[in-house]
Every structure is written in structure tokens, then in C-alpha cells.
Amino acid sequence: MFPQSKSGKFGLFALCVLSGVLAGTVMAGPALAYDDGEGETFAAHEGRVVAEEGLVLRAGPSTHYRAIGSEEYGTVVGIVCRVNGESIEGNPVWYKLGDASYAWSSARDIVNDGEEPRWC
């Protein structure tokens, strides 16, 4: 339909390369969340679900965010970091979980198996 210049093939190639680089950067973003800037990485912490009715996983640190999954009582979950969010029965801390979805859950329903996770 439109005439293609000699540089058109190069432009298309460059666009494909840049798209690949952008996609790689987006996919590596969660992995980079562990980097402290000095080449050292933080190990994900673990916690156990103690809510008898199970754990609701949310898209953000509040019950106003949509539910995106759940975990059963006793399940071990990876914890990336913590933030202050909506207070649930007096506890405002929410954990960012380290599964593939990077979901959030109230710290009230999870017991750490060690040190407290770092702040996000």
C-alpha cells in the first residue's frame, strides 16, 4: 500500500529488537525486586497461612482491591516484602507474596517462619 524505503526494513528490525528488549525488561522486573543495588539479593521469606477459612489473595494491600486467588489453611507462601495498608482487625501490615502473580494478603492471616520481611 505504501512504498517502503530502504531504511524501512531497518526501522522494522529496530522496532522488533526494541520490543524484545522491552518485553524482557518487563518480565525481569519481579526478579529485580530482590536486588539491593549492590549485586546482593534478598531471599524470599516464608510464612504459613493461619486463617482457618483460608487466605484471599488480592491485587493490592486492601480489601478494596479485587480478589485474584486464594490459599488454603496451612499452605506455605513466599513473602517478598511488606507495606502498611488497610487495617484488618487492628493490623495494617500487608505482605506482597512471591508467587507468580505477586498478590497481596493481610499479615494477620500469615505467620512468618523466621525474620520479618523487608519493607517494600
Most confident of the following: 5-9, 39-43, 44-48, 91-95: 91-95
* Integer Cα distance of 9 and 48 in angstroms: 54
**pLDDT the model gives residue 27:** 38
DSSP label of 16: H
Query: What's the pLDDT tens digit per position in 21-40?
Result: 444 433 333 443 444 444 33
Taking the model in full, what pTM does it have?
Answer: 0.64
**pLDDT the model gives residue 14:** 44
What distance lies between CA 26 and its chain's CA centroid? Answer: 12
Query: What's the pLDDT tens digit per position in 58-101?
Result: 999 999 999 999 999 999 999 999 999 999 999 999 999 987 67
Cβ neighbours for 27, distance < 8 A, ≥ 6 positions apart:
none
Flag whether pLDDT at 52 surpasses 60: yes
**pLDDT the model gives residue 9:** 52
Q: Dmax of the chain from CA atoms?
A: 66
